[in-house]
Amino acid sequence: MTSPPDKGDLGGCDTIYSMPELPEVENLRLGLERAILGQKIKKVKVHKPKLVSGKGTLRPPSLKKKTEFEKGILGEKFIAIERRAKNLIFKLSHNKIIIAHLKMSGQFVYLPSHKASARHSKSERENKVVMGGPARNAYSIAVAGGHPIELSEKELPNKHTHIIFELEKGNLYYNDTRMFGYVLYYPNAKTFETENHFSMYGVEPLDSRFTAKYLFDALKTKKGKIKAVLMEQKIVTGLGNIYADESLFEAGIRPDRNPSSVSLLEAKKLHKAILRIIKRAIKVGGSSVATYRLLDETRGNYAREHKVYGKGNSLCVNCKNPLVKTIIQGRTTVFCPTCQK
């Protein structure tokens, strides 16, 4: 069971924050890549062992896993940061790996040393937060991404800070209000591969294998409701509540349609919509990070461009008829009964 979504004002829009999806995670990856690559982990402290003990919601905290995490990555360097679906893959020296999934309420914040004090002000020009984008002096920027946690803009560490990585030039904080996320350590690539962490995932939407024909054939094998199928990650990864709603609206397909009923022409429209929306959302910084600023200090947020998500009972931007709000797979869903068939 999930909590009611948080709401925040963004230029007059009623923005609903939800689990970070592919564009949000990709922007976080880009920001962290520019800020922490090459830095050595001088110290690490895990305050909530549950977060490093496994993936399940009801996972028991393991002191053994906590110790392995803290000792295993000590002294290692960040070599690369990759993304698979909504997971961040931190590759360390000596082939060690950290996998992180923010889930509904997780957040990473990096503060360089001269800003990593007990309190910092978002209003100060030198304290701007970066979500991706180029940076001339990467180690001097702050990076934040994931679920917006207001306290993290004023005080770090705070009551939601559960893991602290002390690096050579700053601190990386993992904050999580509800602790649904996980940050897992693997001593080597073989151990990670043995777990087959991503075995149930489909193709990435920006992968060349994700074609309209692939999408059409995959949908033909599925039952249920098409929105639920898109969100389950087995056909295409990274789509959650936001981008499933937006893509289906742009393609003119009702979210409660049986996926096997989608024609090849409709699959082509959906494929095109997914690609356009994901690329655009990545470019402008995603949808669920409205409290964070980009390098140019704008809020650059795809929430400004939402057509249906979070707009239940509003009028359709196309036909001006009322949008309908319903529940699919436990998630609030908004669509236009006139434009979507």
pLDDT digits 0-9 by tens, 138-156? 556 788 888 888 788 789 9
* Cβ proximity of 296 and 239 under 8 Å: no
**Residue with structure tokens 């007059």?**
12
Domains 16-195 and 212-335 share a fold: no
Q: Which residues contact 35 (CB under 8 A, 6 or more apart)?
A: 110, 112, 130, 135, 138, 139, 141, 142, 143, 170
Residue numbers of the chain with a pLDDT score lower than 70: 1-19, 115-140, 288-300
Residue-wise DSSP of 51-92: GGS-SSTTPPP-HHHHHHHHHHSTT-BEEEEEEETTEEEEEE
**Residue with structure tokens 């100060």?**
124
pLDDT (0 to 100) of residue 153: 77
pLDDT (0 to 100) of residue 138: 54
- Looking at the annotation, which residues are catalytic? 20-21, 86, 331
pLDDT (0 to 100) of residue 19: 67
The backbone torsions φ and ψ at residue 166, rounded to the nearest 5 degrees and listed phi first, read: -90, 115
Q: How far is CA 31 from the centre of its chain?
A: 13
- The rounded distance, in Å, linking the Cα atoms of 82 and 39 is 16
Q: In the CATH scheme, what is the code of domain 16-195?
A: 3.20.190.10
Helix (H, G, I), strand (E, B) or coil at 11: coil
Tokens coding 149: 């946690």
Cα 313 to Cα 45, 253, 317, distances in angstroms: 46, 19, 12
pLDDT (0 to 100) of residue 7: 34
Cα 258 to Cα 253, 304, 336, 340, distances in angstroms: 10, 30, 17, 13
Q: How many CB atoms lie within 10 A of CB 270?
A: 24
> Crossing angle of helices 22-36/264-284, nearest 10°?
40
Burial pattern 89-105, b for ≥16 Cβ within 10 A else e, equals bbbbeeebbbbbbbbbb
Residue-wise DSSP of 235-296: SBSS--HHHHHHHHHHHT--TTS-GGG--HHHHHHHHHHHHHHHHHHHHHT-SS-TTS--TT
* Cβ proximity of 106 and 181 under 8 Å: yes
Helix (H, G, I), strand (E, B) or coil at 310: coil
Q: How far is CA 115 from the centre of its chain?
A: 25
pLDDT tens column, 251-261: 999 999 999 99
* Cβ proximity of 164 and 157 under 8 Å: yes
Which CATH architecture does the domain made up of 212-335 adopt?
Orthogonal Bundle (1.10)
| Residue ranges per structural domain of the chain | 16-195, 212-335
